[in-house]
Structure 1
Amino acid sequence: MKRLLVVVFFLSFCSLFSQTKVGGIVVDPSGSPVAFANIIFPNSTEGTITNDNGRFYLESDNTYSKVVISFIGYESKEIELTQKVNYNMEIVLEESTQQLKEVVVYTGKQSKKNNPAIDILKKIWAKKRENGVRKFKQYQYDKYEKIEFDLNTIDSALIKSKLFRGLEFMFENLDTSRVTGKTYLPMFLNEGFSRVYGDNEIETEKEDVLGNKSSGFDGHQSITAFVEDLYSDYDVYDNYLKFFDKSFTSPLSKTGVDTYNYVLSDSTYIDNKWCYNIIYYPRRKNELTFKGDFWVADTTYAIKKINLQVTKSANINWVKEVYIEQEFDVVNDSVFLLKRDYMLSDFSFSKKEKSRGIYGKRTTVYDNYQFNTTRPPEFYKAESDPYDPRVFSRDTTFWKNARLENLNEDESGIFKLLDTLKTVPKFRTYYDIVSILGSGYVEIDKWNIDIGDIYSTFGFNDAEGTRIRAGARTYFGQNDTWRLEGYMAYGFSDKKFKHGLSGKFLLDRKSRLILSGGHRRDIEQLGVSLTATNDVLGRSIASSSLVTVGANNRLTNINLSTASLEMEPAKNFRVRIGGSVRTLASALPDDFSLDYIDPEAPGGISSEVKQFDLSTTLIYTPGRRTIGYGVEPVNVNDDYSTVLLNYTKGVRGFLESDFDYEKIQFSYRQPWQIGGFGRLTSSVELGKTFGEVPLSLLSVVPGNQTLFSLYNTFPNLDFYEFVTDTYATLHLEHNFNGRLFSRIPILRNWNLREIVGLRGAWGQLSDENIALSAPANIPLMAPEDQIYWEYSFGIGNIFKILRIDFNFRGNYLDNPDARRFGVTGTFGFNF
C-alpha cells in the first residue's frame, strides 16, 4: 500500500512539473492596462490575449522556459520563466521606436489600407466554405459531446462560509481552469455520443444518438432545457454567430473590417502547412464582439485554429467570460475538417475580476470521418429513437470506447460526488430552492406531486377583488406519459371558489398521439386574445394583474369542458381535433353586458351563451427543438416560426348549444435575426366568422389595460374597444440589443437596449351581428374605415432587469376615453 502511495505521489509530482502556467497583468510605462496584448509561448501556437483590464492567464500541458508578450505600438518582451507556475506577474511594455514595414502602425486602431492581415482576410472570404464535409457527395463521422457546469472562484473564505458548512468534503478535489486560472468544482456533467450521416446530393443529414449519460441536475426540466438552449451549433465562417439570443459579429465576417482591428502577428508551420497568425480585437466598446486570434493556411486560406473571447464591455448580462476554441484537421490541401470545438461561459452577477460564478463548458470532438458511401434515401428517413432506454444505460465499456476525449479526474468523480450530495439535507435544500425558482413548482418526491404554479398564487380584478390560487400536478419525471393537473382559487369580493382540472395521456410515442381533456369554472378576460379560451388551466395576466389602467370590469364567467386528440404525423407538424362546451356570461353585468337578442327567451333577451364547438387545428413549428419524449416535452429554443390554421364549427342544438357558425383563423409568427442589428419579431393574424353570433363569440382586437408590455396586444386599446367578425392584425417589434446606444458616449456604459414597435389592426363587424348584440352596454365598432395603428419606443436592460415602453396611439383618437399615450414595462432576467 505504501509503495502504491509513493508511485501515485511520484506520478502526480511529474504531472505537476509537466505543465506551465502563467498569469498576471500587462501595463504600459504609466501603469495603464494594455488590453488585447498577445501572450504566447515561443515556437508554439499556444497563446492568448489580455482582457479589457490587461489581465491574462495561459496554461499548457507542455513545459516552456519563456513567454513572449507583444502588442502593436510596443516593444515585444520575452520573459524567462524560473518556475512552472508563475502567477501575479506584472509586465511593463515599452513604447516602440520603430514601425513595421508591412503595416502602418497606430496604437490601438489599425489601418484598413495596406494591411496584410486584411488582405489575408479577403482571401478567406473568397475561399470560405460551410464545412469540409460539404466537399464530398456523402459523409459520416463520430461526434462526442461533453457539457459541464462548475462552481468557480472557490477560495478559503467560500469553503469556510456558513453557506457550505457541513459540505466541506465537496472541495477536496479542485481543479484550475486553463482559460481563466480560477479554481472550480464540477457540479453537472452530460455526455453524448452519436454518429452523423449526410448526403450532399439530396441535401439531407441525420444523427443517430447512441449513448447519453448525465449526472447532477439531469432530472430537472428547466435546467436541462437551459443547458440545451445554451449551446447551439455555429459556424465561425458565418458573418454572425448567435449566442445567448444575441448576434455577435464573427471575426471572419465580411463586415469584420468595420468592427475589428486586425494585425498580422506571426507565421509558422502547423501540421506541415505554412500558416499565418492574425490577432483581432474590437474597434469600439459595448458592441457584441470578440477578441482573439486565428491561424490560417497560406494556400487554401482555411482556418486551422481559432479562438474567440467575448469582450467584457459587450452588451450582455450575467456572463463575465465567453471563450471559444476550434481546431481543424488537415486532410489535404483543400480539406480542413473540424476536429475539436470548445466553449466556456462564465456566468456571474458581476463582471468584476474576483466575482464568483458558474462555468458552463461544452467540448465537442469529431473523429472517424468517412466519405462517399452511398445510402438509399430510406436510410435517412429512418431516424433512430434518441430516447431509447438503451441509450441511457450504456455500460463502462461503451463509454470507454465512445469518449473521443477522456474525462479528467474531477469529471470522473462527479458522478460519485453528486450521488453523495443528494443525500445531504443541506444540499437538497439548495437544490429545491433552485428548482422552485426555475419551474415555479415545489417538488414533493415522496408523492410524485408538484405544488404550484407559485407565480399564480395572488391576483386582483374588479370582479373577484383579491384572489388566491393553489394548484398541483403529478410529476414522476420529465418523460411522464400521463399527467394530471388542477387548481383551486378563491375571490374575496365575490366570495366564490373557482377550479380547473386537466389530464393528458400519451397513447403512442412515435406519432405523439395525445388524448387530453379537462374542465374549468373561473373568471377570465376574453378581450386579450383573438383566439378562444380553451386552455383549461391557463389564465391571462389581464384578469390577474394587480394594477390596471382604467376600469378592468369587462370580465367573463366561463364554464368550460374540453376534449381533444392530437398527433404529430411529421416532425414539428401537429394536428389537433377536439370539441368544447362553453357557458359564457358577464362577471359584472351592470358594467359589461353580454346580453343578446333571443326570441325564445323570456323577455326576448338572453344573458348567457351555451356553445358546443368542434375544431381542427394545424400547427407547424419548423426548427423547434424539444427535450423529453413524454406527454409534455420542453421547448429549448425560441427562434422558430409558428404557423397556425384553425377551423371551428359551432353546432346548434347539440348539448343545448345556442349557435350555428363557422370560424377560420390563421396566424404566422416569425423571429428574425437581422445580423448585427438585433432581433425582429413579426406576427400576422387573420380571421373570419361566418354566421350570426353574439358579442361573447366574436373576435375582439386584443387590448391591454395592464401596466405590462404584452406582445400581440395593443397597449393603448381598452378591452372590447374594437370587436370584429373579420379581422387582420400585424405586429412588428425590433430589439436593437444596444446597437444604437453603444455609439453614444454617455449612454454606452449603461448597456441599455433600444426597442421599437409598430402595430396595426383592421376589421369589420356586420350589421346583423351588431343587431344581435344590441342590448350590450358598450359601443360595438370595428376599425373598418381605416387601419388602427400604434407605435412605441422602449428602453430595455435598465438595471439589467427592467424594460419600459412608451406607447403612442396613431388614430381613432375620438373614441370614448381613448388613451393617446401609455407606459408599460416588464421585468425579466435576459442575457
Structure 2
Amino acid sequence: MNFRLLLKTLFVAALSLLYSTFLFAQATVVSGKVIDATDKETLPFVTVSFPGTTIGVTTDNDGKFTLSTSRQLQQVKISFIGYKDMLLNIQPGKTQSLGTISLQRSAQELTEVEIKSGAKVRYRNRENPAVELIRRVIANKAKNSPERYNYVEYLEYDRLQFALSNLSTTLTDKKAFRKYAFLLDNRDSITVPGKTLTPFYLDEKLSQYYYRRNPEAENTIIKGTKKTDLGAFIDADGFGDYLKNMYAKVDIYENNIFLVTKNFLSPISDNSPNYYKFFITDTIVTADSSKLVELSFTPRNTADILFEGKIYVTIDSNYAVQRVKLGVNNHINVNYLEWMNISQDFEKNADGRYHVIKSTTQAEFKTGKKRNGGLVGIRTFSYGNYRINQLPPDTAFTKKQSEDEIDELKKRPDAFWENNRLDKLTGAESKVYSNIDSLTHMKSFQRLADIATLLLAGYKSFGPFEMGPANTFYSFNPVEGLKLRLGGRTTTDLSKRYYFETYLAYGFKDEKWKYFLSGTYSLNNKSIYKFPQHYVRFSFNRDTKVPGAQLQFVQRDNILLSFTRGTNDKYLYNDLYKFDYVREFQNHLSYNFTFRNLKQTPAGSLYYQNNTGRIQDLTTTDATFAFRYAPNEKFYPTKLYRIPIPNKYPIFSVDYTVGINKLFGGQYNYHNLHARIDKRVYLSQLGWADTFIEGGRMFSTVPYPLLNIFRANQSFNYDLYSYNLMNFLEFVSDKYVSINIDQHFQGFFFNKIPLLKKLQWREVASFKAIKGGLSDTNNPALNKSLFQFPVTATGAPITYGLGNEPYMEGSVGVENIFKLLRVDFVRRFSYLDHPEVSPYGFRARVKFEF
C-alpha cells in the first residue's frame, strides 16, 4: 500500500466519508457561448453576470461560460468592451443552456485598434502592442521586486480556511444530522459569489518580516499562531503544512508560481509570450490619476499548467503590476480542480513603485463533475506597517525563536487576535474554533473518525492503544508461507513521554514465531511522530528480511508485495537489538546515533560458506553516526511515517558506520561511509524531476553480506528508489556512486495530442545508473577466507561484484491513468547475460496526485 496516497486523499476522502449522504442546494446554472455577430469569431473575456449582484464570470478562450447561483434570479447580463450589452431572461432554479449568443459591435471603435482589411487575422506576437507591453513589464521586473530596496520590513497576517460548499439548507432537517446543526448552519454566502460555504478548518499566523539587501539576509519573527484542533483523527500541524503547501504564497514577479503541487507559469515570466496570448482590453484611471492598462491573457494550450485572467499595469517608467486577477481554464490538466481564483492588490510606495497589500487564493476541488458541492480552500495574506529603506532594530536578523517560544505563541488569547488581525474574520469564520472543538468531543463524531482512520490509515484506536496496520495482517512468501501478523502501539492518550510498539507474527511453512518490541522516550515531551523529534528508543526485532530489499513509506509484510517475479527465496532470519538517539532542530539540521547488534541466519536457498565450510550465522555489532540537513522541510504525517512535502531545496545526508569486533559477539571491525543528495528540480512547463546522487565506500575487508547490497525490486510495483529489473542480491560493491532521475513532464507533450489531452494522461521517464567496483580484498574469488558468493543448485551465479561496466536501466511511462495509475515500460541496458534477468518489463504504481 502506498501511504503517500493516504494523506494526499485525506482532505477529500475523509470528508467524503463524513458527509457522503449530504444533499446539495438546488442552483440556477446558466451556460452558453459568446461570439461576434459580424465575423462569428468566439469572444474570450466577455463578462457574464447576474444584474444587481457581484456574481459573474468571464468567457474562456473558446467563448464559453458557466455561471451559477443559489439565489432565485431571472436575468443574465452579457457585456464586453466595444460591444453592446445584452440582457437575457432565464428560469430560476434550473440548469439551462443559452446556446450561442451573438454580440453586436458598438458604433464607436477604440481608437487604439487598427482594423486591417482582407483575410482573417491570426493571433501573433509580432507587432502586437499587448505583447510589446508585457515585454516591458518583464524587462522591469527586477526594478519592482522588494529585493530592490536596501531594507524592507512589514507585518504579515496569513489566514487559511477550508470549507464544504453548497450543503443543502434542509440537511439538518434529517434526523441523522440534527445534532450537527450548530456546525452545518454556520454558513458564509458572501466570500465566494455563488457559493455557500460551511467552514471547518481555520489556520492563522501573524509574523514580522525583515529583509536586508547587503549583505543579503532575511528573518521572520512569529508573533502568534492559531489553528483548528481536529482531534486525534488528523494531525493539525501536518495537515496545515500540507494545505499551505497547496495554497502557497503567490509572487507574480516570480517566473513560476507553485500551487496545488504544480508549477504555474507566471503571465510575466521571462518567456510568457511563448505560452500565453495577450490582449489589451481596457485602460483605467485610478483615484490618484494614475493610468493603468488592463492586459487580458489566456493559454495558447488550454490543458497546460497556465493561468488565464487579467493584470493591470502602470503606464510609466516602472511598468509595475498594480492589480492581479488570475484563474484557470476548464480544460487544465489538474485533477479534481473545479476552479481557482487569485486576486492581488498593490499599494504605491513613496518612490512610485508598488508593493502587495493583499493576496487571496481561492480554489474548489471536487471528486465528480456532476456534484454541486466540493471542498473550497481560501488563503489570504494581508500586509501592514510596510517600511522601506529604514534601518531595522539590531535584533531583526539575529533573533531566533526557540521551540518553546513558538509553542507558547499558540496560546495567544482571543483579545490578541481581535486587536492584531489585519483582516477581520467573517461571522462564519469566527465560529469555527468553538464549533470544531464541540464536534471533536462528540461521541458520534469520534466513532465516525475511528472508522475513517481504520479505512484510510489501517489503525483501530482503543484510546491509549491502537491496533494495526491492517494491511500487514496477512501476507505470504516462499520461506514462511502464509504469514499472519498482529500488532499495535500506544498513543499520546497514554503518555506524551513514553511510547511502546509491538507485533507478533507466525509463518505456517517455517513454523516460526516472529516479533518486535520497542520502547521510546520523548526528551522534548512531544509526540515522536511530529517535528522536531528528540527521543531515545530501545528495540528488539526477530523477523525475516530479503537482502537488498529496502522499502520506503511501506511495511515489508504488505500483502501487495507478496506477489513477486522470478526466484525470490533468498531470505535472512534476523535478531536485531537496537538503540537509537534522534535529535532534530528548528533549522532542519538533525543527527542521530544508532547502536545495534545483529545476528543474520540465512534461510531459503541462501547460505553462508567460506573455504572451511558452511557458516551458520553472522553476528555484527556497530555504531552509526548520521547527519541530515533539509532546509525548509515540512512533513505530512501518516500513522506509520512522516512523509516529506517536496520543495525546491536540496537535502544532504551523510552517515558513518563503525563495526566493533568481539563486542556482544561482533565478528568484524569495519568502517563504512555513505552520503546522498536529494533534489526536486522544477522545470517550469516541462514539469519536474526527482533526482538523487549517492555514494558509498567500505574501507575494510568484510564478507559480502556487509558490503553495499544494491536496492533491488522483484515485485510488479514500480519502485522509485530501487532498481526495478535487478534481482535481489544480484550486485554487491565496496565502493560506488549512483544517480537516479525520475522525470514528470506533467502532460507537456500529451497536451498537444487531442485524445491524450482529453484523457489528461501525463508522460514520465526515468534513468538509474550505478558505477562502482569490488576491490581484490573483498572479492571472494581472490580472498578464499571470505564468504563465497551464493550460486543456484546447478552452480549458476546469483551474486556478482559490480564490474567496470555500470548497471543501467531506464523507463518511459504514462501516469494519471484514471487519475491514479502509473504504468512504466522498464528497460535494462547492461549485464543482460546474467541468468534469470529480464531485459524489459512493465511495472505499475498507484499514486494519488492533482
TM-score by length of 1: 0.86
**For residue 199 of structure 1, what is the aligned residue in structure 2?**
212
Report the counterpart of residue 54 of structure 1 in structure 2: 64
**What is residue 401 of structure 2 aligned with on the other side?**
384
Q: 2:383 aligns with which of 331, 354, 366?
A: 366
Q: 1:545 to 1:767 in 2, by over 3 A?
A: same
Residue number in structure 2 paired with 1:268: 284
Q: What does residue 747 of structure 2 align with? A: 738
| C-alpha displacement of 1:678 | 0.8
Once the two structures are TM-superposed, the CA of residue 292 in structure 1 deviates from its matched residue by 1.1
CA distance in 1, matches of 2:560, 2:101: 61
Q: Residue 278 in 1 paired to residue 295 in 2?
A: yes
Partner of residue 827 from structure 2, selected from 808, 825, 829: 808
Deviation of the 1:702 alpha carbon? 1.8
What secondary structure does 2:751 align onto? helix
Structure 2 residue 226 is the aligned partner of structure 1 residue 213: yes
Letter in 2 for 1:527: G
In the TM superposition, what is the alpha-carbon distance from 1:313 to its structure 2 partner?
Answer: 1.0
Which of residues 325, 331, 335 is equivalent to 1:317? Answer: 335
TM-aligned CA distance change 1:258 to 1:805, over 3 Å: same
What amino acid is aligned across from residue 841 of structure 2 in structure 1? G
Q: Please list every run of 5 or more consecutive structure 2 residues that lacks an aligned counterpart in the other structure.
A: 1-26, 70-74, 526-530
Q: Please give the alpha-carbon distance, in whole angstroms, between the structure 2 residues aligned to 1:624 and 1:753.
A: 27
What secondary structure, in the 3-state scheme, does the structure 1 residue paired with 2:430 have? Answer: helix
Among candidates 86, 93, 102, match of residue 113 of structure 2: 102
Q: Deviations over 1:169-205 (max 9, x none)?
A: 5433422265451222111112221222222223222
Specify whether residues 160 and 279 from structure 1 end up closer, same or farther in structure 2 by C-alpha distance, changes over 3 A only: farther
Structure 1 residue 453 corresponds to structure 2 residue 459: no
Partner SS state of residue 123, structure 1? helix
- Quote the offset at 1:399 in angstroms: 0.9
Q: 1:147 is matched by which residue type in structure 2?
A: L
Pairwise CA distance, 1:776:
2.9
**Inter-CA distance 103–464: structure 2 relative to 1 (3 Å threshold):** farther
Aligned residue for 1:816, secondary structure, equals: coil
For residues 830 and 108 of structure 1, what CA distance do their matches in structure 2 show?
40
Summarize deviations over 1:50-103 as a string: whole Å, max 9, x none: 3578335599xxxxx9966227xx834255999x99998959332659976526
1:718 to partner: Cα distance:
0.7
Does residue 80 of structure 2 align to residue 70 of structure 1? yes
State the shift of 1:742 in Å. 0.4
Pair 1:186–1:343, CA change in 2 (3 A): same
Residue 625, structure 1, aligned to residue 634, structure 2: yes
The separation in 1 between residues aligned to 2:87 and 2:595, in whole angstroms, is 77
Q: Using a 3 Å threshold, how does the CA distance of structure 1 residues 731 and 163 change in structure 2: closer, same or farther?
A: farther
Q: How many Å apart are 1:553 and its aligned residue? A: 0.9
Conservation of the 8 A alpha-carbon contact between 2:823 and 2:842? yes
Residue matched to 1:9: none
Q: Which residue of 2 aligns with 1:528?
A: 549
Cα deviation, 1:204-234, whole Å, max 9, x if unaligned, reads 2222222222225265225334223222233
Q: 1 CA distance for matches of 2:89 and 2:420?
A: 39
- Could you tell me which residue of structure 1 aligns to residue 5 of structure 2? none
* 2:627 is the counterpart of 1:614: no
* Alignment partners' CA distance in 2, 1:87 and 1:372: 56
More deviation, 145-154/616-625: 616-625
Preserved contact between residue 48 and residue 76 of structure 2 (Cα < 8 Å): no
Bigger Cα displacement from structure 2, 452-461 vs 713-722: 452-461
Paired residues of 1:130 and 1:237 also in contact (CA < 8 A):
no
> Residue 765 of structure 1 contacts residue 781 of structure 1 at CA under 8 Å; is this kept in 2?
no
Equivalent residue of 1:314, what SS? coil
| Equivalent of residue 407 in structure 1, options 425, 440, 465 | 425
- In structure 1, the partner of 2:528 is none
Q: Is the 8 A contact 2:566 2:836 kept in 1?
A: no
Following superposition, the deviation at residue 511 of structure 1 comes to 9.2
- Residue 145 in structure 1 maps to residue 158 in structure 2: yes
Equivalent residue letter for 2:157: Y
Structure 2 Cα separation of the partners of residues 372 and 783 of structure 1: 60
1:44, CA displacement in angstroms?
14
Shift of 1:543: 9.4
The question of whether the paired residues in 2 share the 8 Å contact of 1:793 and 1:807 is answered with yes
CA 1:149 to 1:167, structure 2 compared with 1: closer, same or farther past 3 Å?
A: same
Query: Whole-Å Cα distance in 2 between the matches of residues 267 and 442 of structure 1?
Result: 61
Q: Distance in 2 between matches of 1:635 and 1:22?
A: 43
1:28 paired with 2:39, answer no
Q: Which amino acid aligns with 1:728?
A: V
The alpha carbon displacement at 1:569 in A equals 6.4
Matches within 5 A, 1:155-234: 155=168, 164=177, 166-176=179-189, 178-179=191-192, 181-215=194-228, 217=230, 220-221=234-235, 223-234=239-250
Q: Using the alignment, how far apart are the partners of 1:632 and 1:815 within structure 2?
A: 37
- Find the partner of 1:293 among 310, 320, 340: 310
Q: Give the corresponding residue for 2:693.
A: 684
Partner amino acid, structure 2, of 1:124: V
TM-score, length-scaled by structure 2 = 0.84
Change (3 A) 1:41 1:184: closer
Corresponding residue number in structure 1 for 2:590? 574
The answer to which of 109-118 and 98-107 deviates more is: 98-107
CA-to-aligned-CA distance 1:545-583 (integer Å, 9 cap, x gap): 121001221121111111133334682222222311101
How many angstroms does 1:275 deviate by?
0.8
Deviations 1:566-604 (A, max 9, x none): 33468222222231110111121xx1113345x6xxxx5
2: distance between equivalents of 1:261 and 1:479?
59
Cα distance per residue 1:447-504 (max 9 Å; x no partner): 2x33323343332221222323333233328994553333222323223222223344
Q: Deviations over 1:661-684 (max 9, x none)?
A: 111112222110011101111122
Q: In 1, Cα distance between the equivalents of 2:844 and 2:505? A: 27
| Larger deviation, residues 191-200 vs 649-658 | 191-200
Structure 1 Cα separation of the partners of residues 446 and 122 of structure 2 = 52
Does structure 2 retain, via aligned residues, the 8 Å contact 1:104–1:114?
no
| Local SS of the residue matching 2:664 | helix
1:233-252 pair list within 5 angstroms: 233-252=249-268
Query: What is the CA distance between 1:107 and its match in structure 2?
Result: 9.0
Conservation of the 8 A alpha-carbon contact between 1:762 and 1:782: no
Return 232-241 or 93-102, whichever deviates more: 93-102
* Equivalent position to 2:502, from 486, 490, 502: 486
The aligned counterpart of 2:274 is 258
Report the aligned-residue RMSD: 3.8
SS state of the match for residue 685, structure 2? helix
For the residues of structure 2 that align with 1:144 and 1:85, how far apart are their CA atoms? Answer: 39
Letter in 2 for 1:277: E
Aligned to 2:492: 476
Q: Indicate yes or no: 2:344 matched with 1:330.
A: no
- Percent sequence identity is 23
Is contact 1:26–1:34 with CA below 8 Å preserved after alignment? no
How far has the Cα of 1:799 moved from its partner? Answer: 0.4
Query: Is 1:514 aligned with 2:535?
Result: yes
* Aligned counterpart, 1:6: none
Residue type at the aligned position of 2:576: L
Could you give the per-residue CA deviations for residues 690-726 of structure 1, whole angstroms, max 9, x where no partner exists?
Answer: 2222232121122210011111211111111112222
1:565 lines up with 2:563 in the alignment: no
Give 2:359's aligned residue. Answer: 341
Match among 40, 47, 52 for residue 38 of structure 1: 47
Using the TM superposition, give the Cα deviation of residue 794 of structure 1 relative to its aligned residue in structure 2, in angstroms.
0.9
